[in-house]
Amino acid sequence: MASKITRAKLDFLAQRVVDAMAKSAGTEIRDAEAIKSVVRNAIVQNLADEERIEAEVMETLRAHGQQIFEANADFQKMLAEGKKILAKKKGFVL
């Protein structure tokens, strides 16, 4: 499981998606547990993908750490911007 979310939060989010689908006009839910499982898996995969993107950006930033320090750049802003750029290149929406 992706490290940034608890099982309880994951179950809560999956249930909210299923509930929203059930309320949607013309939607019939035959197996809510199966749908929740698919939603949970999608969330976990999405978070894992985001973690991989962040790790890749962190590696790049670490490789240029001295230059970042010397330029007195904001590391968090560079991390966020790097994640946006890399995610876009990979077709991933953050």
> For residue range 1-23, what is the model confidence (pLDDT) as tens digits?
456 789 999 999 999 999 999 89
What does the longest C-alpha to C-alpha distance in the chain come to? 59
Domain range for 76 = 7-90
Residue 11 lies in a domain: yes
In whole angstroms, give the CA distance from residue 37 to residue 57. Answer: 30
Asked if the structure places residue 27 within a domain, the reply is yes
Report if residue 84 sits inside a domain: yes
As a whole number of angstroms, the distance between CA 19 and CA 14 comes to 9
pLDDT above 60 for 82: yes
Among residues 82, 76, 5, the alpha carbon closest in space to that of 40 is found at 5
User: At 73, phi and psi to the nearest 5?
Assistant: -80, 155
Residue 42, domain member (yes or no) = yes
Residue 2 is assigned to a structural domain of this protein = no
Q: Is residue 16 part of a domain?
A: yes
63, part of any domain: yes
Domain count, the chain: 1
Q: Is residue 81 part of a domain?
A: yes
